[in-house]
Structure 1
Amino acid sequence: MPIPYSGDRGLSGRLHGTWSDRYACRPADGYLAAGVNAKPAGGLHSPEIIIYSADLAELLGILEAKDLEALAAWLLFRLEALHRAGAEFAVIASNTPHVVFDEVARRSPLPMLSIVEATCEKAESLGLKRPGLMGTRFTMAADFFFKPFHARGMSLAVPSPDEQQFIHEKLFSEIELGIIKDSTRQELLAIVEKMIARDAIDSLILGCTELPLILDRDAFGIPFLNTAAIHVDSIVRAAMEGEA
């Protein structure tokens, strides 16, 4: 979908609600800064970005209540604010809220770029067939990753229910708070190794933007797809080229 574009300036709006402010450099923020500072348009030109930093606890409460209508309304309220601030397109810089992406994109006042679609396109370009998906319990239990991957001929695998619970608990009791333990890293890698043997995965989608903080490199000979970095690449391209 074309993005309204003026001159050489792409003004994007980022809405994120799963990052705390306990420490300054969150994954996508760092990748975004690197993309912008690389001056992809040449010279001193760089995209302008408006950030709406939402309340994580408020978002989690809506997700725990499984109220998808309320979640869509919550996101749309913030997208309206980005629209009023002058953004030309918007992104939700988090995986889990994409459970209502289609509905939100349909009603949004701004064109939107999906982290799931960007990741799917990346996986397809790498020739992947059987990615594993790791993220919050909400993300692993929903189908919003499965559908676009299936449409492109890829089948996803997720951890077992007990493994999903472990991942979710570690995300919110440690990783989200900036607590990075090697013991947790080893346990997460053990889950990946089990998925390779059990589910024949050929890659791993880091379907939570915090996971690259602890799973920061490929392992077991398979690529780890960093959804935050992949999304940021698409954001910077759209902002500089005026396309989405």
Structure 2
Amino acid sequence: MKKYIFGVLFLTLTSYNTPSKKELQEQHMITEIEHSEMNTLGLIGGTSWHSTIDYYKTINQSINDHFGNNTNPPLIVYTLNQAEVHRFQIENKWDSIATMLVEAALNLNKAGADAVLFCANTPHKVYDDVQQKLDFPVIHIADATAKAIHKKGLKKVLFLGTKYSMEENFITKRIEDNGIEVLVPKQKKEIEELHRIIQEELTYGVINKKSKEYVLQVIKKSIVEGAEGVVLGCTEFPLMIFEEDLEVPAFNTTEIHSMAGVDYILKN
């Protein structure tokens, strides 16, 4: 008799928790409708893969939050060989980096991506060369960053990144074209040390306490010089520097760029 009662109870609980065929079909239809409402986005990552994970996580979580369920976006990831990218940077072969990015973008497009984004700031050095070879958009990190700065109502910010993005203006000018003054470290040794921290530590996922203190000192000095906020213009810096570390707003370009991707996916 006890076995019979247990069997009935088990069947009752099982039938209560298991979705019916109709419910499963309805859930599938909802997912299909939600996907039809979205653009497909391609991520060109690997520079580094640590920050690429943050792009992937932020975009997926934001789409989940938008729909209020576990709907995931139509997202495709292409990972570059960072060792090869760094070698081309050292050898000043930016045309080779552009070729890598074009190839990655075309492969993502063939796989169904309607647009792509570079999951890092420095590749934007060859943005124009890459974009002119494509007939679909590459979402620019500086445009999204400038919008975020405007939303905070700031007029002057510090920009920190690799030596390429601090010594050249392929990111900073695009922000300045939006009416924002951009400061960068003036001393060569500061630029070189910030670049070293990125290349030798952060791209390997290493967070060094002394290196963090150094970056914070550079930021504090710029605040004295009038910086109202700091742009973490290397997508690895948010692995080390957080909003609570600073007295001014920090602009996490990884998150900002990811949310620009979310807007594109949702056709905003």
Q: TM-score, normalised by structure 2?
A: 0.81
Q: Which has the larger radius of gyration?
A: 2
2:261 corresponding residue in structure 1: 235
Partner secondary structure for residue 208 of structure 1: coil
1:3 corresponding residue in structure 2: none
Superposed, 1:7-156 pairs within 5 Å as 7-20=36-49, 26-38=53-65, 40-41=66-67, 45-156=71-182
Identity over aligned residues, as a percent? Answer: 25
> 1:24 and 1:109 mapped to 2: Cα distance?
27
- State the Cα distance separating 1:43 from its structure 2 match: 5.1
The structure in which a higher percent of residues are helix is 2
> 1:172 and 1:43 mapped to 2: Cα distance?
38
Higher relative contact order (CA 8 A, sep 6+): 1
> 1:30 and 1:14 mapped to 2: Cα distance?
12
- State the Cα distance separating 1:137 from its structure 2 match: 1.1
User: How many equivalent pairs are there?
Assistant: 233
Assess if the C-alpha contact under 8 Å between 2:46 and 2:52 holds in 1: no
Partner secondary structure for residue 112 of structure 1: coil
- State the Cα distance separating 1:30 from its structure 2 match: 2.9
Structure 2 alignment gaps of length 5 or more:
1-34
> 1:16 and 1:212 mapped to 2: Cα distance?
16
Q: TM-score, normalised by structure 1?
A: 0.88
Assess if the C-alpha contact under 8 Å between 2:43 and 2:77 holds in 1: yes
Structure 1 alignment gaps of length 5 or more:
1-5
Deviation digits for residues 177-234 of structure 1, max 9, x if unmatched?
Answer: 111122221111011111122x321111001111111102244421110000001111
Deviation digits for residues 33-62 of structure 1, max 9, x if unmatched?
Answer: 322332x24555432100001100111122
